[in-house]
Amino acid sequence: MSSLRKMWQFLKPYRFKLGIAIFCIFIAAVLTAAAPAIEGMGTSQLASDVEAIRNGVEGAHIQYDIIWNIIVVLFIIYVVNGLSRMAMQYLISDAIQAAVYDLRMAVKEKMTRLPIRYFDEHSAGDLMSRMSTDIEALSGALQQSFSQIVMSILGIIFAVIMMFVIDWQMALVGVTIIPLSYVLSKYIINHSQKLFTIQQQSLGDLNSVVQEKFTGFNEIKLYNYQENAIADFQEANNKLCENGFKANFISGLMSPSVSLLTYIVIAIAVFMGAVKVAEGAIVVGALQAFVRYIWQVNQPLAQITQLAPTIQSSIAAMDRVFEYLDEKDDIYDIENPVVIENYEGAVSFDHVHFGYGERPVIQDVSVEIKPGEMVAIVGPTGAGKTTIINLLMRFYDVNSGAIRIDGVDIRDMRRDDLRSLFGMVLQDTWLFSGKIKDNIAYGKPNASDEEIIDAAKRTNVHHFITTLPNGYDMELNEESSNISNGEKQLITIARALLSDPRILILDEATSSVDTRLDAMIQEAMAELMKGRTSFVIAHRLSTIRNADKILVMRDGNIIETGNHDELMEQGGFYADLYNSQFADNA
C-alpha cells in the first residue's frame, strides 16, 4: 500500500465533508468555465452593434440592456463562485486538520508500542523530525494542494469542453499543451523526487546534530569544543542546503517550461482564430473566450507545477512518517496470558542467552533471586548489566533460556502486567515540566495529597519541598534545572515509593548526586527497598556492601556470585574492583 493510500485511511472518516467540498469545487469550476463564454457574448454583441452603426444600418444602436444583463449575470457568477470557494476551503481545512490530528495521535500511540531496539537504532533528532517537522510539512501540503489539485483537474476538463464547443480545430491545437506539459513535468518529477527524499533525510540529520549539541552544551563549553560543534553543524547545514537547492531548482523548472509551451500554443491559436474571424467562421467574442480557456488550462497546470516542490517534499515526509508507523510493534502478548494474583517477587534466570543481531551479549546466565532480596550487578562497561535489566522488563526477548517471576515465564505474561511490577530510579532522572506533586504522583495518578506527602516524608524530600516557593505546587521548568540533581533524585525515589512496585530497578541511582544529599538518598533508598526485590547497578561498590547477593559480570557472563564478604574472601575480580576503588578514593 502506497503512502497516499495510507494517508487516505486517515482522511476517510471525513469523506462526507470532503465530498461536500468537492461538490463546491465542482460548482466553482462550472461557473469559472461559464464566465469567458458569457464575457465573449458581451464582446460579440458590442462589436456587432458598433459595426452596424458604422455601416449605417437603420435603427442601429448599442443595446445597453443586453450588455447590462450580461454584466449582472457575470456578477452573480463571480459572487456564487467566490462563496463556493470559501465553503470549499472551510470544509477542506476542517477535514484535513482533523485527519492530521488523528495522524499525530497515531504517531504518539505508536511510540508507546515500539521496541527499545528502535530507539537504540535511531537518533532523537531523526525521531523528532518525523514526529513534528514531517507531519507539519504533510499538513501544510495537504491544506495547500488538495483543493488546488481538484479545482485544477475540473477546471481543465471544463475549459477543454468549452474550447471544442467553440471550434474543434482550434481546440486540437489548444489541448496539445496538456500532453506536452504532462511529459515534461513527469520527466522533471522523476529526476527531482529522489532529491526531495534526500533533502528530508538531510533535515533529519541536521535536527540530530542540533539536538546532540544542545543536550551536551555544557560539555561543549567545558572542553572548548565550540568551533568543532559549529563545524559539525555547518557540515550538516551545507548538505541540507546543497540537497535542497538541487531538489527545488530541478522541480522549479516545471512552471516556466509549462508557461513557455502555453505562449507558443496561444500564438498559434490566435493566428488560427483571427483567420476564422475574418472568414466569418467564428465571432470575435468566441476568439476572446478561446484565449481565456487556454489560460484556464495553463493556470491549473502552472499551479500544479508550482505546487510540485511542496507536493514532492510532502510525499517524502509522508513516506518517512508511514515508514515509522509501519515499524514492527514491541513484542506481542500471547493470546491467553497468565495472571498472577499475588506477586511475591522471586526472580530466576534459567540459562539465558541474548545478543544484538549476531553479536552475543548475555551468555548462559543462570541465577535464583528470592523475594525481597537486594541484588547488585557490577562489572566493567559493556559487561551486560543494563541488558540483564532490559531482558527482565522484556524490552527484549531472550534468544534462548527463560526468565521467570514467581515461577511464571515472563513471556507468558501481558507486557503491561509485567512492567507494572517494576519501579525505577535512574541516574539520569526524568522529571517533566509541571508541579512537584504531579511528578511524585506520576506512578500513581489518582494518589491523594496525603499519600504524596507521606511518600515524600518517608524518602527525606518533604522538608526540602516545603522550603520551596509554593511547596508541592512549585512548577519545575523544562529541564528541572531549578532544583539540584540530588533533589531530583529524591523526588524520583518518592515517586517510585508511591507507585508501590514489587521489584525495583536502581540503575546508577546514587552515582551523580551532590555530597550534601548523599546520606539522605541512602536512607531514602533503604526505605524504598524494604520488602521489595531490588536490582542495583552501581559503579560505587561502597553503596552495595549490604546487598544480599552480588552478581559480578564480565563479557556477558556471571563470573562471581555472593555477598560482599564472600566475594572479598575469594580475592577474585570483585575484590580487585573494590580494592581499586578504595585505593582511588583514598
DSSP assignment of 511-530: SS--HHHHHHHHHHHHHHHT
354 plus 301 within the same structural domain: no
Per-residue pLDDT tens, the chain, 586 aa: give them. Answer: 477 788 888 888 999 998 999 999 999 989 988 888 888 887 777 777 777 777 777 776 778 788 888 889 989 999 999 999 999 989 988 998 999 899 888 888 888 777 777 777 777 777 777 877 788 888 877 877 787 888 888 888 888 888 888 888 888 888 887 788 777 777 777 777 677 777 777 877 777 777 666 666 656 665 566 777 777 778 888 888 888 887 777 777 777 777 777 788 878 887 888 888 787 788 888 888 888 888 888 778 777 766 766 777 778 788 888 888 888 877 677 788 888 878 888 999 999 999 877 788 888 889 999 999 999 998 888 888 888 988 898 888 888 999 999 999 999 988 888 888 888 887 667 788 888 888 888 878 888 989 989 988 888 888 888 988 888 898 888 777 778 777 888 888 888 888 888 888 887 545 455 666 677 877 788 788 888 898 988 777 877 888 899 999 888 888 999 999 999 999 888 898 888 876 655 4
**pLDDT of amino acid 400:** 92
Residue 254 domain-assigned? yes
CATH number at residue 417: 3.40.50.300
CATH number at residue 130: 1.20.1560.10
Contact 350, 366 (CB under 8 A): yes
Instruction: Give the domain range for residue 128.
Output: 3-325
Residue 336 domain-assigned? no
359 plus 398 within the same structural domain: yes
Residue 337 domain-assigned? no
Residue ending a domain, among 325, 356, 389, is 325
Number of domains in the chain: 2
The residues, any chain, with a CB within 8 Å of residue 562's CB and separated by 6 or more, are 549, 550, 570
**pLDDT of amino acid 66:** 84
561 plus 476 within the same structural domain: yes
**pLDDT of amino acid 352:** 92
251 plus 376 within the same structural domain: no
**pLDDT of amino acid 53:** 78
Question: Residue 405, SS3?
Answer: strand
Burial class of 265 by CB neighbour count within 10 A (0 to 12, 13 to 18, 19+) = buried
**pLDDT of amino acid 147:** 79
Question: Residue 572, SS3?
Answer: coil
Residue 50 domain-assigned? yes
356 plus 316 within the same structural domain: no
Residue 313 domain-assigned? yes
61 plus 178 within the same structural domain: yes
Is the pTM higher than 0.75? no
320 plus 354 within the same structural domain: no
362 plus 316 within the same structural domain: no
369 plus 293 within the same structural domain: no
User: Which residues of 48-166 form beta strands (DSSP E)?
Assistant: none
465 plus 377 within the same structural domain: yes
Rounded Cα distance between 144 and 149, Å, is: 9
Residue 447 domain-assigned? yes
Residue 342 domain-assigned? no
Rg (CA), the chain: 36
> Which DSSP state fits 56?
T
Residue 502 is which amino acid? Answer: R
**pLDDT of amino acid 23:** 92
Residue ending a domain, among 325, 360, 377, is 325
Contact 80, 27 (CB under 8 A): yes
391 plus 310 within the same structural domain: no
321 plus 362 within the same structural domain: no
Burial class of 68 by CB neighbour count within 10 A (0 to 12, 13 to 18, 19+) = exposed
**pLDDT of amino acid 586:** 46
Sign of CA dihedral 84, 90, 94, 96: positive
**pLDDT of amino acid 511:** 47
Residue ending a domain, among 263, 290, 325, is 325
Residue 333 domain-assigned? no
- Buried/exposed 294-325: b ≥16 CB within 10 Å, e otherwise: bebbbbbbbbbbbbbbbbbbbbbbbbbbbebe
Cell readout for 63 is 443595446
